[in-house]
Every structure is written in C-alpha cells, then in structure tokens.
Amino acid sequence: MSDEDSSGQSPATEVAEAEFGAPRSWSRGQKVLHPTRGEYLEVARALYDAGYLMCVDVTAVDYCAAKQQRTLPDGVVAERFEVVAGFISHADRSRVRLRVQVPESDPTCPSLWELHAGVEALEREVFDLFGISFEGHPDMTRILMPENWQGHPLRKDYAMGRIPVQFKGAPSS
C-alpha cells in the first residue's frame, strides 16, 4: 500500500486541510482526520452521513514514553493519549481513521455508542486497559480485568510483574 494520497502527495509534504470539519492527513494510503474531543461526535456523524456506516475499531495509544515524535497536522496539539477509531464505507470501499488527542489530566472522550452500538465492548476495553472514560457510554465498567483491579495495564507507566501467575493445577509455591 502506498503512503501517498490520491493526488500523489506524501503525508510529510501534504498541507493539512480540513475535511468533515477536522484537519486531515494521510497514513499508508488511508485518510486520517484529527478532530478535537468536542468535534469527535460531529465528525463521526458526518462520516456516517457520507456512507461510513461501520465503525470497525476503537482503540487508544499512550505516548507517555514515546521515543519517536508522531506526525500531526498543524494546529493539532499532541497529548499523552490518543483515541483512534476506524470507519469503513462498503459502497466506496474506503476507510477513514479518526485520531483524537486526549489529555492525561482529563482522560475522557465522547462515546460513539449512540451512533455505532457495536463499539460498546471496544470502548469498555479502552477504559479498562488505558483508563480513558467515554462519556455517554451505557456501561462504563471493566471488561477484561477484575472490578477491584488497580490501574490500567496498557498505560506505559504501569508497573509490570507485580502479580505472580498461578496456573490451574500447578503446585503453588
């Protein structure tokens, strides 16, 4: 897959333009939109109206210990966390990715649940593993870790190896 957009420009040389109300970039031939948290639902609705009827993924990235600077369009302020949502248009056979910057001091983001009910488990997983809450989600509880678990295991500053693993049927030490 090419790193060029339809005009033949690479992501590094493209001037960030607004599309669907958000700055745009390209990554591996895929359009990437960079809405603010306040624009996130509005841009997702505009994508839905434009034929991107399926949200295929919602995940997050923790840039706490990132050694490499990420590429963001002009005007987009990098934050510690980034919520990433992927959408697909079956009619156009195309994909669009949304990358929303989420600050460490307020790790919240609007929920896509009312627009795409299939994100219910995906947003709970991001909450459970990264600690990012989705406002408007019907059941913002842990999905993978026990309810009494302290911390969020996919955060880069999460201490690892504190809990010994005990396999079923193995003698305990």
The model's pLDDT over 16-54, given as tens digits with 9 standing for 90+, comes to: 578 888 999 999 889 999 999 999 999 999 999 999 999
The whole domain housing 116 covers: 1-173
Residue 65 has a pLDDT of 74
Write the DSSP symbol of residue 147: T
DSSP 56-118: EEEEEEE-TT-SSPPP--TTPPP-SEEEEEEEEETTTTEEEEEEEEE-TTS-EEE--TTT-GG
Q: Read off the tokens for 152.
A: 């969020």
For the chain, what is the domain count? 1
pTM value?
Answer: 0.82
- What average pLDDT does this structure show over 3-28? 65
Q: What is the CATH number of the domain that holds 136?
A: 3.30.460.80
